[in-house]
């Protein structure tokens, strides 16, 4: 790579400069390299939760705005009431068959304070709370900065979520 090309590349956001494995796979992805420059909605998910139907709204957001630069990243977690007990293969099959999820899903992680994966630790350092339940949502701008977070009760199609995403696009 030429020095001009490397000088033109924006620096990696510390929030996103982390490697995560794709759900039920071997591929490891550096979130900065793959997604910086896009608007990102990070969500901790679960398949057996009262909020699981939010997969539908998350996929609708992703489908509607992906061509404008939005990506939704799902991170299954079994931290709350054993609501994601399955294997990664079972989770992937459930998401695909039940909700036709096409947005990127990553390895099953811990999200609670004290045992959280490095990504959720970094979200907390950036000023967001640790998830208190499944389907917490974290909005990241194109520069890799935390912009906002939304609790489980906030649906993906909530006006404040959609407006915030549209403003960043």
Active site residues per annotation: 49
Which helix (H) or strand (E) segment holds residue 75: the answer is strand 70-76
- Of 166, 168, 140, 138, residue with least CA distance to 154: 138
Q: What angle do CA 101, 21, 110 make, to 5 degrees?
A: 85
Q: d(Cα 48, Cα 15) in Å, to the nearest integer? A: 29
149, 136 contact by CB (below 8 A): yes
54, 81 contact by CB (below 8 A): no
- What is the bridge-based pairing of β-strands 39-45 and 70-76? parallel
Length of the chain (residues): 169
């Amino acid at each position: 790579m030429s020095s001009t090309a490397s000088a033109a590349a924006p620096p990696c956001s510390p929030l996103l400069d982390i490697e995560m494995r794709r759900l039920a796979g071997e591929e490891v992805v550096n979130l900065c390299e793959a997604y910086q420059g896009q608007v990102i909605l990070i969500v901790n998910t679960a398949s057996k939760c009262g909020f699981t139907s939010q997969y539908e709204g998350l996929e609708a957001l992703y489908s509607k705005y992906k061509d404008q630069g939005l990506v939704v990243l799902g991170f299954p977690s079994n931290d709350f009431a054993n609501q994601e007990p399955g294997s990664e293969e079972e989770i992937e099959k459930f998401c695909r068959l039940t909700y036709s999820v096409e947005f990127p899903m990553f390895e099953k992680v811990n999200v609670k304070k004290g045992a959280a994966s490095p990504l959720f630790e970094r979200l907390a350092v950036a000023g967001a709370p640790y998830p208190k339940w499944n389907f917490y949502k974290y909005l990241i701008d194109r520069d890799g900065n935390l912009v906002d977070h939304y609790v489980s009760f906030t649906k993906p199609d909530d006006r404040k979520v959609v407006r915030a995403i549209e403003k960043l696009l």
